[in-house]
Structure 1
Amino acid sequence: MFFESENNMGKLTLYGIDASAPVRSVLFTLNALDVPFDYQIVNLFSKEHLSPEFLKMNPQHTVPTLDDDGFYVYDSHAINSYLVSKYGKDDSLYPKDLQQRAAVDQRLYYEASVVYNTIKNIVYPLVFLNETTIPQSKFDAISEVYKTVDTFVAKYSYVAGDQLTIADFHLVTMLTTLTTFVDIDAEKYPKLNDWLSLLKDLPYYEKANAKGLEDFGNMIKSKNYTVIIQYFNMAELTLYGVDASPPVRAVKLTLAALNLPYKYVQVNLLEREQLSPSFLEKNPQHTVPTLEDEGNFIWDSHAIMAYLVSEYTPSDELYPKFPLKRAVVDQRLHFESGVVFATALRSITKLVRASIAVPQERFDAIVEVYDFVEKFLQDHEYIAGKNLTIADFSLISSISSLVVYVDIDQSKYPKLTTWMKKLQQLPYYEEANGKGAQIYIDSIKATNFKLAS
């Protein structure tokens, strides 16, 4: 194979948009080859790619498109192999050895046919059709991609062997794009995580990928989409509860997140309906929430939420199956149950409703809850890590009630404040928790509770 030197180089112009993963793969190759080029941004939203001038270069009107001194190449795979063949000092990025090349080509075809379509199936409806919901199955496809690429790098440092190739450039731009929707679990995919770290250490990674990835992420975040989880084994669910109850609201948040239809039956605790024979048959502890599922009854909000995720969705994101991640979620749930709800919220509520002056230690217990939660959020967006879980639902329902007793100081608790705002932006938050929290707050304010002297 003949490799042309820089002295024979024509004028290179790349047409593209930073947010495009295929464009970024070409930016990787150009930087790896240290080839000078002009970069022209094509505004797809203004349909510049449909202009007569662009169509003369590329009748498929796609980006990236490369202009090499009047010779036009489109499709990122074709561009990258062309660049290495013409401008590479050797063939390491696209080997001429037939077996090595076959391995690279296989990865390229996998990326083009499977990975790219996984992204396109999510992004195109969101960005160009202005849809606001994504089926869970499309997110599940991302996990399958991670699983497959993890096997590619199980025995080798790179996706097609022990040396860096254009296959790595294609897959790293695609997989980092997919992380906008689903994070890569380093414990579940350790080899994939190591490979990604290796690519991020390349001296041109930031220039080739980081800015475009950020642009893509900002574009997707602006869409405020909702994931529609497809449930199975669906039976008629009935939830017994009262809106003011934080545990009931935690279950409502879970039902809403899972997009599960259910019947809601209000239980009048003041009239002691929970002590009626019919209710005691359902739940001998006479507590709310209580869930009925085809004649089976489950009570305690934590048990109900865990059951709903396990029974009605194939995804484990809200309640992870991986032992370490589940242990963290479970710890937060027990913290909410034993410390936040029992020690802080229920104890002060009983005093207030009994018109007993509240000792300072009850308020101090609430402050201690805020201190703990601020620490939980120190390194993560959510209570138990990078992803939203039922632990967030459990804690937000209680903490949004505690604020009636002790305001959250934003300067003292910046992480807690940000987390609450993030939860409040969930499309189902107001209906599932906001209204009930306000009912609780209004009922407490009406008591004109006092601090004990």
Structure 2
Amino acid sequence: MAKPIFYTLHLSPPCRAVQLTAKALGVELDHQVVNLLTGDHLKPDFLKINPQHTIPVLDDNGVIVPESHAIVIYLVSKYGEDDSLYPKDLAQQAKVNAALHFESGVLFARTRFLFEAIFTGCGEIHPEKAEYIKKAYQLLEDTLVDDYVAGTTLTIADLSCISTIASVMGVVPMERSQYPKIYAWIDRLKELPYYEEANGASAAEHSQLILNIMKRNAANPCSRTNDQFVSSSGQVNNSSNYAAKKAKMGKVVLYTAKLSPPGRSVELTAKALGLELEIKPINLIAGDHLKPEFVKMNPQHTIPLIIDDDGTTVYDSHAIIIYLTTKYGKDDSLYPSDIVTRAKINSALHFDSGVLFARLRFYLEPILYYGSAETPQDKIDYLYKAYGLLNDTLVDDYIVGNKLTLADLSCVASIASFHAIFPIDKSKYPKLAAWVERLSKLPYYKKTNQEGAEELAALYRVKLEENRQKA
């Protein structure tokens, strides 16, 4: 069998996460370099492979898998001699999934937002953006309660997170005294025999490239924006017995807010599963998520969070909906066991955490939480680009094929919130508009998702007006 073809660029953190995983598995890849700086990813031949024009992409003898997190899960599921890098145990796997979404939705999303501005001409890093990265460092520091990100052994969560951390720390330095657990974790990963080849040298080269570009751009100041946000990714605490059937279980407790897109994606999934949840409202504006009793459950102080009746605690919406579907689903239609279909869904879930929700958060949180009276055009443009990416992805009735899956229930929670503030232009995004219309016909859609999205939009408008009056 031919080697899997790997479309990559060594400077790219997501590409290096795949390379680290392949090395850990002993899988040899056929590297095809895609130079983003010269626009290789925008050429027609590549767009046929990945309409979102991003790398990495894996072509495994005709099976196309875009998006690094989906690729690493696919590689371990197909080529792993055991499940150590991506455990089959439901609670342990949920920990890894949560950490992968923390990487895509927090670590890499924040790094990309910073680096893209530099690549497009910005010659400085504003203190607010540096602080935003440092908050991500602190979230990772707080997450590292064991030797590795998702427990006591190496998993793909570590290989994914280190690819971004190794790049961004060369641009936004972190002090060893302030983040001792991160440094101990980095030192641990550097002992891997393939680390330097697969990540270390290229991460240093990437950091130096960013610094060099900043020097060239030094005469070009950037508009100040307040990029301080609360993340929506997390981990899992506790594992116990998962064999008990739904009929023997009590209700799953969901800590959430109606305004929260990730929270609504969990509620949409529960409705699709016919699973009744015990809702515990968390008022983010009032700071409920920062209270000591909540931080004990989730050191990243984010919602949604579930507690199953066996004591298993899961946070990050994407990890939660996979957990709920795997445990309580009558069949696998929402998250098929076929590894190719599952890879496509995983890719879409990371598109939600790393693009859709991340960009919504970039725009809204300064206004909702920090008194900003600004509506920066670059952030609005960023939102509309996300519309375009999803529109281009929709080649079927649903995001992954012609059936409803977790990909739709996750992405539509974010998109509905976009749409309530910046309505989708049907003439520009016809497939996206048709997809939203299709999902709006679900019997539980209006109450579970649309109402919350409209309330979030109303709160945004009220807070923006308040902030402008105070400015």
Compute the TM-score of the two structures, normalised by the length of structure 2.
0.46
Q: Which has the higher contact order (CA 8 A, sep 6+)?
A: 2
Structure of greater Rg = 1
